[in-house]
Structure 1
Amino acid sequence: MAIGEYCCREIVAITPSESVLVAARLMREHHVGDLVLVEPTDNQGFLPVGIITDRDIVLDLIANTEGDLSRIAVGDLQRRELLTVHEQEDVFAVIAKMRQAGVRRLPVVDDRGLLAGIIAADDLVGVLAEGLQDLARLTTYQGQQESSLRPE
């Protein structure tokens, strides 16, 4: 199961030079908890260079600073090297990467390394839950089939 089948292709992105205030407003406007930081490329694509979450804003800035959020760039919040996954990577490999890195969201890139989507832990829980439901139905269906084939 390739992660590209399950990632969200509607990404809300921002350049690293934009302010935290602009980022917070974008999150509110689009009802998202994260923004992918991108740099435009020459071929109409976007290269992911970071990610900022609502949690980053609250815990790193609002709780620890009294600075003007309109003067702080979102790129300044980037605390770690960005981890991305390729859209052909297996779902379980992506889950392992998320767990190992301790992150809940990962940008998904295409063969050129350009932003193709984003995958969140919540999305993966839904995918796994559907798989478990299918297994449960199979068990029930198999029992019904066996019962119908037995003579009474």
Structure 2
Amino acid sequence: MDVERLERPVSEIMTSPARTVDPEMAVTDAARILWHEGIGALIVETDEVAGIVTESDVVRGVCASHDPEQLRVRELMTDLVITVGPEETIRDASVRMQDNDIKKLPVVDDTGTLVGVVTTTDIAESIAPSFDDVLAEFAE
């Protein structure tokens, strides 16, 4: 693996803008957004990043026999949000995810403003050699 790939800034691989929702949104509406947009998490935002709600959170809430029409995002979200800065490296983000057993990191700038989100999939795709790179190795 080309270790230089790990030293690139998160800003090069993050998804921006990140999809945000209000904490008072019904869980059914959040689930529809996740499904229709093909994403795994929503950043809960008020004036700042207030939390994150994932597909797993939604499933857990429904499995606990909560009525998803009545249940609000704020009731399921994780409010202790681990973040990463856009200038931090892909390695930094990877370590932070591993240390905290999480798969998604909101990306916030120095002022605390949400600028994107980075996932384990983004990281894997950024560090894995491309098919062209693999073919070039065999051609040498």
Note whether the superposition's TM-score is higher than 0.5: yes
Please state whether the residue corresponding to 2:110 is helix, strand or coil.
Answer: coil
Q: Cα 1:7–1:112, aligned 2, differ >3 Å: closer, same or farther?
A: same
Query: Looking at both structures, which has the greater relative contact order when contacts are Cα pairs under 8 Å and sequence separation is at least 6?
Result: 2
| 1:95-110 paired onto structure 2 within 5 Å | 95-110=94-109
* Separation in structure 2 between the aligned mates of residue 96 and residue 132 of structure 1, nearest angstrom: 26
> Could you say which structure has the larger radius of gyration?
1
Residue 5 (structure 2) aligns with: none
Q: Cα 1:110–1:79, aligned 2, differ >3 Å: closer, same or farther?
A: closer
* Separation in structure 1 between the aligned mates of residue 19 and residue 113 of structure 2, nearest angstrom: 14
Name structure 2 gaps, 5 residues minimum. Answer: 1-7
Residue 57 (structure 1) aligns with: 58
Query: After TM superposition, which residue ranges in structure 1, 4 or more long, deviate above 6 angstroms?
Result: none
Name structure 1 gaps, 5 residues minimum. Answer: 41-46, 145-152
Q: Cα 1:92–1:131, aligned 2, differ >3 Å: closer, same or farther?
A: farther
Report the identity percentage.
24
Residue 17 (structure 2) aligns with: 10
Structure 1 length as normaliser, TM-score? 0.78
CA contact (8 A) 2:10 2:87 kept: yes
CA contact (8 A) 1:12 1:30 kept: no
**1:18-67, CA deviations, whole angstroms, 9 ceiling, x for partnerless residues?**
11111011112212121110114xxxxxx211111111111x211112x3
Amino acid at match of 1:28: W
CA contact (8 A) 1:35 1:53 kept: yes
TM-aligned CA deviation for residue 79 of structure 1: 3.9
TM-aligned CA deviation for residue 78 of structure 1: 2.6
Q: Cα 1:95–1:132, aligned 2, differ >3 Å: closer, same or farther?
A: farther
CA contact (8 A) 2:24 2:74 kept: yes
Q: Which moved more, 1:76-85 or 1:97-106?
A: 76-85
Q: Which moved more, 1:15-24 or 1:72-81?
A: 72-81
CA contact (8 A) 2:105 2:119 kept: yes
* Separation in structure 1 between the aligned mates of residue 135 and residue 112 of structure 2, nearest angstrom: 38
Residue 27 (structure 2) aligns with: 20
Structure 2 length as normaliser, TM-score? 0.84
CA contact (8 A) 1:20 1:70 kept: yes
